[in-house]
Structure 1
């Protein structure tokens, strides 16, 4: 998160500040690019303040004149009331009952374009639109209508918008403040552009605007605000030919941080699924902004759901930015660097990497809209905390009940709860950060077994479900709730196992694997000394990795050196 300062002076001459979840990641896979024909969108809601839980709003019918209260998603600040529509759809997380998916990443953009008088923020745009739109195109229109009608209070946003047939990127930013004599903002609204990702391709965005030039006469594949170019000219952001206008360059010019901390995450995804992406390494590292990466790429092979799950767990492994390799990873290859992102030594500024997987994730998901099935059988694969050491569980988009462990009213960032999945996963993951190389490997064995098992189970369930809509949704809800409860119970057992095995920096020897322990927790799983007193035997002391030992020797070797006593 970082401060995005509004410069619009109100009648009180106050300068307001906005705090947004400016640290998220979206990857998008079209149906022709996926192994199972689904449209997939990923999202990591990364914030140091966001509590990881699953939102649910039931559909409803409303009387004429009904109003809807709008509160800023990040802060809870009341923004005002807007007109309610006659009927709304049921939503769970960032998906509605018709398999419409909306996710976002914040790029901020030009600070002078924030509107402190706005009545709707980016988070409310997502969740209100999910209640009102059935398709991606309807969602794009709804977002633009809401922002233009009530004023947009947030900074620049990239939205992933998908339904069972199409996937789009929509980028938007406000118009700032220009008050008339009555104090009304005459610039209310947004400028925006949306591009449909060609079928068979993948795309992504991560806190940097990515749409550059775009066709002006192809409404099947590109939609945009009528003043998107003229407003840039009015503000002095662009003075070139119409056909060369670039949304990203006009409204969110990229600097080193935007490339290294944002575009690099998209590059890491692209290089995992597509060929030839190393040619853009200098762009991703912030060294060559002219070597711009494309908005979408064609994968070498169709992308499987599990592969996409794992792309959200990336730390630049296998690249020059690999976060497990340098001295900052400590003696146990921990791929995390605590904030701030930048530091200075002897007048030279350096950066810590910002990978796709990060410690401050509130929740994350991989959503699947599946055109071969009824719309209410879309799946929100949902998880909380750091994607690299947490697990996804299937939540059907038409579920009418939130699993107990994901409820909004169970705990908060200031209130630990023993029944909250967010706090359970955080406890396990923060323990893993201490000895990451060993502990994370055990966690990943559990993650892979769970997710692969669920994927196979879903296939069987899809084939067996022949009920009509009402009965089907009841079964889908029951399944979603049951699987989340099973995952919570399994993670509680994993929590105990990891403490038993790795307490005090030691490693207990085992007779089996972590998966065998989870299936049958017992002291007999660990090696004892044979006395019947449950005293461990063959305890291992793995120490630190070679790079760390050499660094310590170089730093303090003269003090630590062992010498022969004469």
Structure 2
């Protein structure tokens, strides 16, 4: 779940992360949001450390850039909350802060998150830092993943943590780390946490459900944890040292493993595992709630190294090709739509049911895929591939980590009013035009994606080679070059999606389908769907037999 990666453009104001997620935290587990994938350098095709983050909540994101700089010793900065942008006091400003674009800073450090909830009694609403302010402060103060872990811990100790349990994705140009944390409740200060380095050649993922269970206590190269992560659990009665069982972070701090939570959360992890490593034939039993079924491994070795485009494809998943394919069946409607309206859980005749919860979901406010690359200078190696709305119907655009400005269309918009000049609204228009006639409209959207993103991937090495040559003699000019490229590319993607929206409406107006010459036809419905309609109400749609015509035929 998220409040927002992005919010009102601001300098050193952390309320820029707009939010609506607070209400969703208290809702059914099925309503929880966000999906994140972490790819180690050895598991990527080009040596990138990659993380993804789908921020799934109904809000209007505006792309955020916060310039870095030096600050006097007594400088303070306001901490702003969510929903009403209320100022939650001030914190000490760091002597030196780093430029942040989206969720990556100028040293190629990037963060993502999913809300895991956990024990309700460990939430301290008086804590000054919600996870969004905590993450943004960390990006401004840390250079590496290990520094980020230490910074998160220090900030929460000093100012208090006010949100529920979180799983944080952390990546720098060398390493990817998954960190799980939760507060200590009212009156407590700081967090209990554990963090694991993703082994080289492996990936991991998380989707609103704690992933870390048991862990070694003597492997600081790969595992870090709060000194009191076990003793605090013992003190609170969450773990007994005489139980004969090793300590499990998830069992202690996130004991809820309900069928609905597994269905909504573990299902997304399963789909990432089965697509990244199909040879392993991962069972669906755990996420379907089978008694005694084994959870999915924290770390998975993909069958082949993943390109950035492969990781983007994972974020566009609706369980296609599985028994849970959301584009199949009567629930997908006449045009095989993966759209399922909230709430995911529903009741019919006193029996409980639940829609599938896919990785690509209509309520996403934005999706990012970040690249951090050791072989390149920071200004060139760090890229955020960003799109507003959800990944399956949108187009990613590259934003380099040290750029000086942003594409204007990605900063504009009002959640209460549609605008042709807002990238968020135009991207949402395309997705909403596609949902209702998916099987007819989505092929055109996918074609535009492949063309646009394919061109960007082909241009990337050319742009970066030119930027590297400039950086060797004039780093400032190289930054200007990358800024101009990022801005112009973002605006070009925006204009293309304006054209896609117009083309969809023109081609599919009033239920007709126009051919290449503009001639309309009425393709009707599939035989499979018509069969289901007739099955549900056979007498209503059946025509009376024409006996007189039959006698004439005889």
Asked if 1:484 is matched to 2:498, the reply is no
- Matched ranges for 1:376-415 at <5 A: 376-377=379-380, 378-407=382-411, 410-415=412-417
CA drift at 1:20 = 6.2
Q: Does the 8 Å contact 1:2/1:19 carry over to 2?
A: no
CA drift at 1:418 = 2.3
Asked if 1:38 is matched to 2:48, the reply is yes
CA drift at 1:320 = 2.0
Q: Which moved more, 1:236-245 or 1:78-87?
A: 236-245
Q: Which moved more, 1:65-74 or 1:159-168?
A: 65-74
CA drift at 1:276 = 4.4
Q: Does the 8 Å contact 1:212/1:247 carry over to 2?
A: yes
Asked if 1:369 is matched to 2:378, the reply is no
- Structure 2: how far apart are the matches of 1:240 and 1:290? 26
CA drift at 1:492 = 1.1
The match for 1:304 is 307
The match for 1:201 is 202
Q: 1:106 to 1:74 in 2, by over 3 A?
A: farther
Q: Which residue of 531, 540, 544 maps to 2:521?
A: 540
- Matched ranges for 1:308-457 at <5 A: 308-377=311-380, 378-407=382-411, 410-457=412-459
* 3-state SS of paired residue (2:281): helix
The match for 2:251 is 249
Q: 1:373 to 1:243 in 2, by over 3 A?
A: farther
Q: Does the 8 Å contact 1:20/1:74 carry over to 2?
A: no
* 3-state SS of paired residue (1:139): helix
Q: Which moved more, 1:497-506 or 1:18-27?
A: 18-27
Q: 1:210 to 1:258 in 2, by over 3 A?
A: same
The match for 1:233 is 234
- Structure 2: how far apart are the matches of 1:327 and 1:467? 57
- Structure 2: how far apart are the matches of 1:320 and 1:239? 41
Q: Which residue of 168, 175, 179 maps to 1:166?
A: 175
Asked if 1:273 is matched to 2:254, the reply is no
* 3-state SS of paired residue (1:104): strand
* 3-state SS of paired residue (1:542): coil
CA drift at 1:277 = 4.4
- Structure 2: how far apart are the matches of 1:97 and 1:170? 21
- Structure 1: how far apart are the matches of 2:141 and 2:417? 33
Q: 1:218 to 1:199 in 2, by over 3 A?
A: same
Asked if 1:190 is matched to 2:191, the reply is yes
- Structure 1: how far apart are the matches of 2:306 and 2:2? 33
* 3-state SS of paired residue (2:403): coil
> Mind listing any 5+ residue stretches in structure 1 that lack a counterpart?
4-16, 178-184, 511-526, 528-535
Q: Does the 8 Å contact 2:274/2:282 carry over to 1?
A: no
CA drift at 1:412 = 2.3
Q: Which residue of 53, 72, 77 maps to 1:68?
A: 77
CA drift at 1:325 = 1.2
The match for 2:504 is 498
CA drift at 1:289 = 5.4
Q: 1:347 to 1:415 in 2, by over 3 A?
A: same
What value does the CA root-mean-square deviation take over the aligned residues? 1.7
CA drift at 1:484 = 0.5
Alignment TM-score, normalising by the size of structure 2: 0.90
The match for 1:524 is none
CA drift at 1:463 = 2.1
- Structure 2: how far apart are the matches of 1:343 and 1:160? 32
Q: Does the 8 Å contact 2:198/2:299 carry over to 1?
A: yes
* 3-state SS of paired residue (1:195): strand
Q: Does the 8 Å contact 1:19/1:74 carry over to 2?
A: no
Q: Does the 8 Å contact 2:259/2:289 carry over to 1?
A: yes
Regions of 4+ moved over 6 Å: none
Alignment TM-score, normalising by the size of structure 1: 0.89
Q: Does the 8 Å contact 1:213/1:243 carry over to 2?
A: no
CA drift at 1:243 = 7.4
Q: Does the 8 Å contact 1:73/1:124 carry over to 2?
A: no
What is the aligned residue count?
A: 517
CA drift at 1:546 = 2.9
CA drift at 1:74 = 5.6
- Structure 2: how far apart are the matches of 1:199 and 1:391? 29
The match for 1:84 is 93
- Structure 2: how far apart are the matches of 1:398 and 1:286? 45
